[in-house]
Chains A and B, each alone.
Chain A
Amino acid sequence: MLNIKNLHVKLEEEDKQILKGVNLFLEPGKVHAIMGPNGSGKSTLSYVLSGKGGYEVTDGSAQLEGVDILDMEAEERAAAGLFLAFQYPVEIPGVGNMTFLRTAVNAQRKLRGEEEMSAGEFLKVVRAKAKDLKIDADMLKRPVNVGFSGGEKKRNEILQMAMLEPKMCILDETDSGLDVDAMKLVAQGVNALRDDKRTFLVITHYQRLLDHIKPDVVHIMANGRIIKTGGPELALEVENNGYADLLEEVA
C-alpha cells in the first residue's frame, strides 16, 4: 500500500535534517504503529506524507499503491486515498461541520472524476456514521472544531475518515488529550474501518492506544530513523522499560 524508501527530509527554512533515511513498507489491510520519543520525527513523517508545506525532501521516495506521491499536491494525495487524522485539528470559524464534510467529499470525487454525492444521500450517510461515533446533530452543525472538546475534535477526525473512506489512514497521536472512554470510542471508530484492504499507520507515544487498536507491526522511531521493528510485544517492552534501552542498543 505505502512504500517509503530512504526518506530524507529537512526543514525548508533552516538547515535542520529531521528524517534521516526512513524505510517503511505497509501491506494492504495491516495496522502498523510507530512509537518513539519526542522529537524523533514521527509527526514530520505524517506531515510530509500528506503534503504539508515547510519541508524539503532531500532524498528517497514514498509510493502509494506504486505511485509517487511526494510531488503531488495535498489534495491530490487525499483524492488518491491518503488521510491524516491530525494531532491538533484546526478550527475553521463560520464553516459548518457538515458543509466542510460535504465540500471535502465532493472535492475528492471531483478530483477522481466521479459524480458528486447528492445532498440527500450525503445526509443519510453522514447521520449514520455520526451516530456510530456518538456525534450528535448539534456537533454536525457547529463550525468545524470551534469550541469542540479534545474528545470531540478527535471523534470528528474519525468521522471525516469514515466519510472519505481512504485507503491509507495515518493517525497522528490520536490518543493525545483523550480520557479512557473517549479513547475507546475513537478506537472503536477506527476498528470499524479496518478491513483486509485498508492500511493504518498509527503514531503514538503510549502503548495504551494499542490495547484498543491492535497493531500487526510496531516500529520504534528515534532521531529520524526507524531503529527497531517488531510485533505488538515491542510496544509492551517500551511501555515497561522506556526508550532508553532501545536507544542504547542501536547507539
Chain B
Amino acid sequence: MAMDDIQVKDGVDAETVEAVKALSGTYKYGWNTEIEMEYAPKGLSEDIVRLISSKNDEPEWMLDWRLAAYRRWLELIEPDWAMVDYPTIDFQDQYYYARPKSMEEKPKSLDEVDPKLLETYKKLGIPLKEQALLAGVEAPEGERRVAVDAVFDSVSVGTTFKAELRKAGVIFCSISEAIREHPELVRKYLGSVVPVSDNYYATLNSAVFSDGSFVYIPPGVRCPMELSTYFRINAENTGQFERTLIIADKDSYVSYLEGCTAPQRDVAQLHAAVVELVLLDDAEIKYSTVQNWFPGDENGKGGIYNFVTKRADCRGDRSKVMWTQVETGSAVTWKYPSCVLRGDDSQGEFYSIAIANNMQQADTGTKMVHLGKNTKSRIVSKGISAGKAQNTYRGLVSMHPKAKNSRNYTQCDSLLIGDKCGAHTVPYIEVKNNSSRVEHEATTSKVDDDQLFYCRSRGMDEEEAVALVVNGFCKEVLQALPMEFAMEAQALVAISLEGSVG
C-alpha cells in the first residue's frame, strides 16, 4: 500500500481526527519519577567513554574495548535504508550517563535501595521484593516466580533472587557487576555475537553502554525460574544504552523476559541496546520482549527512538533459540532479532507482533542465517497498522552452501485499521545450496467492518470488538509467550489500539 495516494472517504477524516484525539493520555506508563539524578556532561567524547567506564569501576581491558568502539563509531555513517523517517539525531545533545544520586554507593541488598526507586517499579507492576517468598511462604497456585533485574536510566538498581539462583549455579546480575566479578566469561563472550563493528548503533552501544543484564547458565542446568529485566528510561534528554549478554552452556535452558517503559515527554529519546545470546550444544533460550516505550503523542511529538541489535548465536549443535516480541511502543523502531544457526541441527524461531498507531513507524523483522546442516527456522510476523502509522516487516533468510537440508518457514501477515496507515513487507531470501527449502507466505488484510458489526451486535463496544479481532489475528504469537506475559500482551494490544477506529 502506497503512503500518499490513499483515498479518504468523506466523513472519515473528521472521525479519525476525533478518534486520534481521544487517544492521547492512554499511555499508562507516561509518568515521571522525581528523583535527584547525577549526569555525565552532555555530549559524546573519549572523556565521556572514560567517565562511564570509571563510574562502573571497570578494568583496563574494558575501557580499551570501549575506546576502540568509540573510534570506530566516529568513522561510521548512520544507516538510512530502513523505511523510517525521523529528524537528524544530534549525538552531542544527549546525556550518555544518568543515575539516581542514591545509587552512588552501590546498595548491597534490595533493602538498601532508595524507596523512591522501589516505589517506581511497584507502580510499574514490577515486584522487586522477594522477602515473602524467601521466608518460605508458598506462592499462590499458578503464580510462577520471576527473578528481576531492574535497570533505571543508566544503572541497574537491583536484582532479585540472586542468592537462590546462585545455588543452582546460575549467574544473574547486572552487566557492570559481571565485568567486575566474572571477567573471564565477559571477555570470552562480549562482542562475540554482535561484533563491535557490526553496525552504527551497535558500535555506539559498545562505546557507551552503561548497564544491562548478564546471565550465565552452567552445563546441564535448567534455570529454576524465569529471569527478567525491566528497563525504565526516566531522565530527560538521556539515551539508554543497555547491553545484555546471556550464555546458555551445554544442555542448559532459560526463559528470559524483557519489559520496557518510559515517561511521556515532548522530546524524542534514544534507546540503542545490544542483546547477545550464546548457545552451546543442546542449549535452549526463550527470549520474550514486551516493548512498550512511550510512542510519542498523536502528532508524532516525542517518544523513543528504538535502534536495537539483538542476535542469537546457536554455536552448539542441536541448540534452539526462540525470540518472541510484542512491539507496541516507540516512535521509531529499528530492530531485527536474529539467529545465526551455526551448529548442526540448530533451530531458530521468531514470533513477532508489531503494532504501530498514530504517527509511529516500525521497521522490524528478523534474520535467519543458516550455516549448519539440517538447521531449521520459523518466522511468524504479525504487523498491525492504525492511524497514520507505517509498519514494515524486513526479514532475511539465508541458506549458506554448507547448510544442507535446512528449512525455513515464514509467515508474514499484515492487518490495516483505517485507511491512512501503511503495511510493507520486504523479505530477502538467499539460498546457496540445492537441498534446502524456504517457504514464504504473506497476507495483508483490513479489519473488516462486518466482523466489527458482528461483535457489536452481540454486545461488545467498538474497542472490545477491535481488541478481540486483533487478538485473534495475533493468536499464534501470543501463544508463544510465557503465560503471565501473554495476558499482559493481550491487554496491551487492546490499549495500543484504543481509538484507532473512527
Contacts and interface: CB of A to CB of B under 8 A. Distances in A.
Interface of A: 50-53, 73-75, 77-79, 83-84, 86, 89-95, 99-100, 103-105, 107-108, 111, 143, 160, 164
Given A75-B457, A104-B460, A143-B472, 7 more contacts: A52-B457, A53-B453, A90-B448, A100-B455, A100-B468, A108-B458, A164-B459
Contacts of B461: 73, 75, 107, 111
Contact of B457 (A84, A91, A92): A84
B251 to A, nearest CB: 35
Contact of B459 (A89, A90, A95, A111): A111
21 contacts: A74-B456, A78-B458, A78-B459, A90-B448, A90-B453, A90-B454, A91-B451, A92-B454, A92-B455, A92-B469, A94-B476, A95-B468, A95-B469, A95-B472, A100-B458, A100-B468, A103-B464, A103-B468, A104-B455, A143-B472, A164-B459
Contacts of A83: 457
B458 A107 contact: yes
A50 to B, nearest CB: 5
B459 A75 contact: yes
A33 to B, nearest CB: 21
Interface of B: 448-451, 453-462, 464, 468-469, 471-476
A83 B459 CA distance: 9
B435 to A, nearest CB: 34
A99 B448 CA distance: 19
Contact of A51 (B449, B455, B456): B456
A75 B460 contact: yes
Contacts of B451: 90-92
B457 A94 contact: no
Given A90-B451, A94-B475, A73 B456 contact: yes
A117 to B, nearest CB: 13
Given A92-B469, A93-B472, A94-B472, A103 B460 contact: yes
Contacts of A164: 458-459
A155 to B, nearest CB: 16
Contacts of A51: 453, 456-457
- Which of B449, B457, B462 is the most central at the interface, judged by chain A CB atoms within 10 Å of its CB? B457
A89 B475 CA distance: 21
A70 to B, nearest CB: 15
A100 B460 CA distance: 10
B315 to A, nearest CB: 36
Nearest to A84: B457
- Which of B449, B450, B471, B472 is the most central at the interface, judged by chain A CB atoms within 10 Å of its CB? B472
A99 B455 CA distance: 12
Contacts of B475: 94-95
B414 to A, nearest CB: 14
A94 B473 contact: yes
B450 A90 contact: yes
Contacts of A74: 453, 456-457
A181 B472 CA distance: 32
10 A-B pairs with the lowest CB-CB distances in the bound complex, closest first? A94-B472, A108-B459, A95-B472, A94-B475, A104-B458, A74-B456, A78-B459, A90-B454, A107-B459, A107-B460
- Which of A50, A51, A90, A164 is the most central at the interface, judged by chain B CB atoms within 10 Å of its CB? A90
A245 B426 CA distance: 62
B413 to A, nearest CB: 10
A95 B456 contact: no
A235 to B, nearest CB: 27
Nearest to B472: A94
Contacts of A89: 454
Contacts of B474: 94
Given A93-B472, A95-B472, A107 B457 contact: no
B473 A93 contact: yes
Contacts of B460: 75, 103-104, 107
Nearest to B469: A92
A104 B471 contact: no
Contacts of B454: 86, 89-90, 92
Contacts of A84: 457
A104 B473 contact: no
- Which of A51, A99, A100 is the most central at the interface, judged by chain B CB atoms within 10 Å of its CB? A100
B449 A53 contact: yes
